[in-house]
Chain A
């Protein structure tokens, strides 16, 4: 799973969000390191929707503009959890080899 995809799914794991909310949340989660732009976000959402990992939740009109909310599906949550386990195992192995604190794998 690529980092932007991982961060988008992480943003949606806490609850349904609209496009701009996801972008802001990704910035927050990555501590300002990853700044998603609309083209990347909607290309990723399009793919995640096609794969059944994310789905549209509801539509709202705010200041005359459409705001669509997205939420993660059960399958998406499972895939994200699997990715977290994989990353955690890799990080633990790396920490162990580097002799860093917390490397207990």
Chain B
């Protein structure tokens, strides 16, 4: 073998080795490119493979083939691979975000303008009521009432229950985000609050207690979430609310707080702690709250029934209010026949009683709006068909 033949064989050998390495690299890169979305692969895979191989070849050219440089090249290859994975994650997450942004349930609102407006009003009212419900849960209105009346038995002590923390954090967060007009974030926060309350509710339901107060906050959070995500949001709601509407919302919030005062009185928390407490005191303290609730609910109902949007607001707010009414009947029942401090003896609250009526109402609302839309589109089709298929005068239709 001559020197020329030997060097030619060596060149061919090194070229074959390089080709083999490139082939292996290409296979690895193509496997990683499978992580990219199909559209991106179709558009860029071939040029990306070309760029990756050109980059690897340039690295190899600049370095002599020694064990140390091979380690360096392996490091570069690992960096390229991790960069490809990170790039795929970035593109996929961007695509996901775009899809969420463009999806109808997230970007648009309910099609019927009357329901859309009603949900917008509820997106103002429900976060406020949720905040008041949270305050009531921690006895803040009770403490305020105690401060006003000088009653000794209301105390701010519910904060010690750590399971209420999701509500402590969630309710003010939802209210603040709604005030900042961040309706989608507020909606998601309300949903998270509702879910955390479901966990609390499930824990107490396992213990055999179906709490109307927990049901109220779960349903309020759910209604607030739906209203914030499916409507144009609090900005539109505030524009729709008249002075009378704002007054009604404020009064509703006060009633909820006031009710919690009466509730605590008559369900007997106060009785247990106050040694000088008598039935007479409780009746006197509880009566104004009962009357106020009955009066305001009647006024709100009458005022809301006057326009199409207010009727819908009333129906939507009925979803969280149903357990509230059940709570009220419990309180009234214990006022009338039960011993103070005991639960209702007339209709005991149960999970089915608390959650089924609101869920049935929500289903009726969804089914009713779908049916109305279906009928409206059917009517519109019928109105266009005769006009388009009338044909020329005297034409015979089969």
Is the beta-carbon distance between A37 and B48 smaller than 8 angstroms? no
The yes or no answer to A46 lying at the interface (CB within 8 A) is yes
A47-B94, A65-B46 known; A39+B51 contact, CB < 8 A? no
A68 to B49, CA, bound (A): 12
Is the beta-carbon distance between B47 and A40 smaller than 8 angstroms? no
* Prevailing SS type, chain A contact patch: helix
Interchain residue pairs with CB less than 8 A apart (19): A18-B47, A19-B50, A20-B50, A20-B54, A20-B55, A37-B79, A38-B87, A39-B83, A39-B88, A40-B83, A42-B40, A42-B48, A43-B86, A43-B87, A46-B40, A46-B44, A46-B94, A66-B46, A68-B44
Q: Which residues of B contact A45 (CB under 8 A)?
A: 44
Q: Which residues of B line the A interface, CB within 8 A?
A: 40, 44, 46-55, 79-80, 83-88, 90-91, 94
Q: Which residues of A contact B51 (CB under 8 A)?
A: 18-20, 23, 38, 41
A19-B48, A23-B55 known; A38+B80 contact, CB < 8 A? yes
A45 to B94, CA, bound (A): 13
- State the Cβ distance, A4 to closest chain B Cβ, in Å: 11
Given contacts A38-B48, A43-B87, A66-B46, 13 further A-B contacts (CB under 8 A): A18-B47, A19-B47, A20-B54, A37-B84, A38-B84, A39-B83, A39-B84, A42-B44, A45-B44, A65-B46, A65-B49, A65-B50, A67-B47
Q: Which residues of B contact A38 (CB under 8 A)?
A: 48, 51-52, 55, 80, 83-84, 87
Q: Which residues of A contact B80 (CB under 8 A)?
A: 37-39
Chain A: number of interface residues, binned into ranges: 10 to 19
Q: Which residues of B contact A67 (CB under 8 A)?
A: 47, 50
Q: Which residues of B contact A68 (CB under 8 A)?
A: 44, 47
CB-CB nearest 8 A-B residue pairs: A39-B87, A39-B83, A65-B50, A37-B83, A39-B84, A43-B87, A19-B51, A66-B46
